[in-house]
Amino acid sequence: MAPLQISVIVSLLNEEGSLRELMAWIARVMQAHDFTYEVIFIDDGSTDRSWEILRELTTEYEQAKAVKFRRNYGKSAALYTGFAKAEGAVVITMDADLQDSPDEIPELYRMITEDGYDLVSGWKKKRYDPVLTKNLPSKLYNATVRMATGIQLHDMNCGLKAYRNAVVKSVEVYGEMHRYIPVLAKYAGFKKIGEKPVVHQERKYGVSKFGIERFIRGPLDLMSVLFLSKFGKRPMHFFGMVGLGFLALWGLLLLYLLGAAIFGSDYPIVARPAFFIDLACFVMGTGSLLIGCLAELVARSAPARNEYLIEETIK
Ligand SMILES: Nc1nc2c(ncn2[C@@H]2O[C@H](COP(=O)(O)OP(=O)(O)O)[C@@H](O)[C@H]2O)c(=O)[nH]1
Ligand SMILES: [Mg+2]
């Protein structure tokens, strides 16, 4: 059997209204272009009829596969599971709510296979979301991420993305890192990252699950991603640098204080501001080094990071 050309990964939570239409649409596009494909649905603990519908779809469509989490683990966990399962040469992630159009698939596939992109991110140039709670904050957020990471994407968090298979097998998404997969990909060594303006549609069924809270968590996640991708496997280099910096300052101040004690006035050392600053530097310096040691231990022992309880898998 020839290897699959495309894996579509759909992560979802309570999307009973759109699943059937989405699968039919994907199948239509795939057939029209003669692609070999699979669609992997990850049901992240839905409480509506989503799983029953997925069960039906897997019998109706040979290409449909489905995984059900026992509870809600979040989008990153769902994508991680989908990535691990994906066999297609090109892997495409897509929202389940029909806001992303399957018609984009052929061009995304072409950009990966012919133009040589490692990752192509969708760019919702024209969005149908509330301006104040979503569009504006999103612009601000994307500008910040561009500055912090150097990756020139307008829409880092777009659900519609295409990847070369090797990319999804090399990045490790957990926590809420799905927002920063391009950053993770860049640090994993995949440099050709592009974007494609995509059509964005209004939500037809169901309600949005992500609200304003993401703009509070977003910056924190960004710090984690930057820290983890640079120092996740060598935290001592970060904490150690900070620690050594403080200790160097401590040493210099100590010399100064000793000098002042020997050659200076009668003014007592312990009454000088430098004495207290020196003390603080010593505490911060040794503290950072100790934290560095702990972080090294932690970095080497987090085996349960990506274990999710799967209730059922079909195909
Ligand atoms: N795995 C998983 N997917 C989710 C979760 N919440 C929402 N989704 C899916 O993520 C996609 C985008 O969510 P949506 O609510 O439309 O966010 P919006 O488009 O930014 O308003 C949809 O396919 C949702 O079903 C979740 O907790 N876990
Ligand atoms: Mg949506």
* 134-166 pLDDT tens trace: 788 788 889 988 998 899 999 988 999 999 999
The enclosing domain of 210 has a CATH number of: 3.90.550.10
For the segment 106-119, the average pLDDT, to the nearest whole number, is: 97
Distance in Å, CA 95 to ligand 1 centroid: 7
Same domain, 270 and 222: no
Q: Whose CA is nearest to atom 24 of ligand 1?
A: 12
CA distance 214 to 54: 28
**Are residues 190 and 110 part of one domain?**
yes
Q: Of 21-30, 60-69, 264-273, where does mean pLDDT reach its minimum? A: 264-273
Q: Please state, rounded to an integer, the average pLDDT across all residues of the chain.
A: 91
- Ligand 1 lined by 204 (C-beta under 6 Å): no
Q: pTM score, two decimals?
A: 0.82
Please name the residues in contact with 309: beta carbons below 8 A apart, sequence gap of 6 or more. Answer: 69, 70, 71
| CB of 208 closer than 6 angstroms to any ligand 1 atom | yes
Within-domain flag for 312:
no
Q: Is the domain of 29 the same as that of 145?
A: yes
Residue nearest atom 9 in ligand 1 by C-alpha distance: 12
pLDDT at residue 125, rounded to an integer:
87
Does residue 174 lie within any of the structural domains?
A: yes
* Same domain assignment for residues 261 and 296: yes
What pLDDT was estimated at residue 242? 96
- Domain hosting 252: range is 235-301
88 & 111 share domain: yes
Phi and psi for 207 in degrees, rounded to 5?
A: -125, 160
**pLDDT, tens digit, 9 for 90 and up, residues 182-233:** 999 998 899 999 999 999 888 888 888 776 777 777 788 888 888 887 888 7
Side-chain half-sphere of 225: how many Cα atoms within 13 Å?
27
CA of 132 to the centre of ligand 1 (A): 19
In a domain, 279, yes or no: yes
Confidence band of 306 (pLDDT split at 50, 70, 90): low
Alpha-carbon distance 114 to 111, whole Å? 6
Residue 133: band (very low, low, confident or very high) from pLDDT cuts 50, 70, 90: confident
Given a cut of 70, whether residue 304 has pLDDT beyond it is no
**Same-domain check for residues 145 and 19:** yes
What is the layout of strands, in order, in the sheet containing 90-95?
193-197, 119-123, 161-164, 90-95, 6-12, 37-43, 64-69, 310-314
Q: Which ligand is nearest to the Cα of residue 96, counting in written order?
A: 1
Model confidence at 128, in pLDDT bands (50, 70, 90)?
confident
pLDDT of 140 reads 86
Looking at the structure, do residues 133 and 93 belong to the same domain, yes or no? yes
Ligand 1 in reach of 43 Cβ (< 6 A): no
Whether 309 is covered by a domain: the verdict is no
Domain boundary, last residue among 201, 231, 261: 231
Q: Which of 200, 215, 231 is the last residue of a domain?
A: 231
Q: Is residue 308 in a domain?
A: no
Does ligand 1 have an atom closer than 6 angstroms to the CB of 205?
Answer: no
What is the tally of structural domains in the chain? 2
Q: If DSSP states are collapsed to H, E and C, what string results for 131-146?
A: HHHHHHHHHHHHHHHH
Task: Give pLDDT, residue 141.
Answer: 86
Is residue 282 exposed (0-12), middle (13-18) or buried (19+ Cβ within 10 Å)?
Answer: middle
Does 260 have pLDDT greater than 80? yes
Same domain, 38 and 166: yes
306 domain residue, yes or no: no
Are residues 136 and 259 located together in one domain of the fold? no
Q: What is the mean pLDDT of residues 83-104?
A: 96
Give mean pLDDT, residues 257-283.
Answer: 88
Ligand 1 atom at shortest distance from the alpha carbon of 95: 23
Ligand 1 pocket check: which of 12, 40, 70 to mutate, most ligand atoms within 8 Å of Cβ?
A: 12
Output 260 or 5, whichever has higher pLDDT: 5
Residue 1 included in any domain: no
